[in-house]
Amino acid sequence: MAGSELTNIKSPRVKAARRLTKRAFRDRDRSFLAEGPQAVREALTLDGVVVELFATAEAELRHADIVAAATAAGAPVFRASGEVMAELAQTVTPQGLLAVCRFVHVPLETAVTADARLVAVLAHVRDPGNAGTVLRTADAAGADSVVFTDASVDPYNGKCVRASAGSLFHLPVSTGVPVSRAVERLKESGLRVLAADGAGDRTLDDVDLSAPTAWVFGNEAWGLPEEILRLTDEVVRVPIYGRAESLNLATAAAVCLYASARSQRIGSVLG
């Protein structure tokens, strides 16, 4: 551990980390906070991403492997008092580990290539919990990348990072991309671009999903605007067999991404 225990919430080091809860400072410093053992463990799988680690004495003992990995990676580890950890953490019950990490996003041209078979695009998605869950689902479904458009939530928002459960560090994530440019790049790379929207004329049951596909998911409340729908190849809706009015964004995204993943895997076996 570097130095003695940090106990002053007003110390320069603590204040520098704390300000990363605000987007303006994250953008300026190109850094963000990853809270909890799962997020920190996954961040450490990428070289040079973890800048420094704060750990309470209890967490240092409980997660000795993570502390050792941070030390081996050359990241200074600071023991933090419970008060300091409460000041840094954005959860009601902090888990005692919090890392300052460098941004991990990549350019659109790197995230979307001709080899891609499944991509998730978040357009006008504003809720960080939903965004992080879609990112986690895309990772679980084997997607090649996730694109956050310039009108969507910051993927480095603390709630989004936590909701991704470490998936932010697993697959290429491109951020701040205009929707039109994202769709253009997807089509250039040979992907069929489908909009997931309740206004679709056809449902998932009616569409062949075995080809390389990019799914565009819209705002939680009002879906995708007409100008974005026109950019895509087709608008597809998730069928509702029961009496529910609709599905929430994260659930609809899970259904669409897994439908594509399943169809592509079946096509690969049959092919």
DSSP secondary structure, 67-103, as one string: HHHHHHTT--EEEB-HHHHHHH--SSS--SEEEEEE-
Q: Residue 226: which domain range? A: 108-270
Residue ending a domain, choose from 102, 129, 153: 102
Residue 131 lies in a domain: yes
Q: Are residues 200 and 216 in the same domain?
A: yes
The confidence band for 2, taking pLDDT boundaries of 50, 70 and 90, is low
Q: Are residues 153 and 204 in the same domain?
A: yes
**Sheet of strand 50-55, all strands in order from the earlier edge strand to the far edge:** 31-35, 97-102, 50-55, 77-79
The confidence band for 245, taking pLDDT boundaries of 50, 70 and 90, is confident
**Residue 132 pLDDT greater than 70, yes or no:** yes
**Residue 195 pLDDT greater than 80, yes or no:** yes
Residue 2 lies in a domain: no
Residue 1 lies in a domain: no
How much is the average pLDDT of 55-70?
96
Which residues pair with residue 99 across a beta bridge? 34, 53
CB 183 within 8 A of CB 193: yes
Q: Are residues 91 and 138 in the same domain?
A: no
